[in-house]
Chains A and B, each alone.
Chain A
Amino acid sequence: DAKTTQPNSMESNEEEPVHLPCNHSTISGTDYIHWYRQLPSQGPEYVIHGLTSNVNNRMASLAIAEDRKSSTLILHRATLRDAAVYYCILNSGTASKLTFGTGTRLQVTL
């Protein structure tokens, strides 16, 4: 699987938007870009995924660069409950074999 690069940590103020970047310069044409998050003492939780077009769901938005070498997870209004480690993962096969990096630890403050 192609590698992803994320910042180790980011901080945000509550109720402000958060943009979490992910670089994946060696992405292949069949790789979907997935985001999961892991709240403290919990299992990972699916957030969003996409292939080429930007995607929106109730949790977040995913903006994918035109060349697909990078993407950004957007939390429109961060809350304290969004404090977690966010993982950007590329996957072209089954989601039963995900490759996790160390992710970005998001801190949200009042």
Chain B
Amino acid sequence: NAGVTQTPKFQVLKTGQSMTLQCAQDMNHEYMSWYRQDPGMGLRLIHYSVGAGITDQGEVPNGYNVSRSTTEDFPLRLLSAAPSQTSVYFCASTREGGRGNTEAFFGQGTRLTVV
């Protein structure tokens, strides 16, 4: 059982380049999320999705796009990378509902450096 899988694990981009961070889960979870973590800080929510075709913004959405065409996949797109987007990115999934009574499962992260 793979859980939440993120690719790539490491990436270096030049300023202005675009790329897609991949996230896939095999637990049939409805809800998925993207977070970023800067050095010495906790995770901050970028975007989340409550099901295929439904996405919404989190705390720090600027510079990122998402779409959710299947239950399994939730890619994060950087349209024009900036040095401020250098960070570690985590994808998470959780089953729906629960009103606080469910847990999230996280991937191993993608370490992105923008030069």
Contacts and interface: CB of A to CB of B under 8 A. Distances in A.
Interface stretch (B13-21, B76-84, B102-110): B102-110
Nearest to B89: A43
Contacts, number: 81
A43 B108 contact: yes
Contact of B45 (A51, A93, A97): A97
B109 A102 contact: no
Contacts of B104: 36, 44, 46, 95-96, 98
Interface residues of B, number: 33
Q: Which of A49, A87, A95 has the most CB of B within 10 A?
A: A95
Interface residues of A, dominant DSSP? loop
B100 A98 contact: no
Interface of A: 30-32, 34, 36, 41-46, 49, 51, 87, 91-103
Interface of B: 4, 31-33, 35, 40-45, 48-50, 58, 90, 92-94, 96-109
User: Which 4 pairs of residues, A with B, have the shortest CB-CB distance?
Assistant: A100-B42, A43-B106, A32-B100, A96-B31
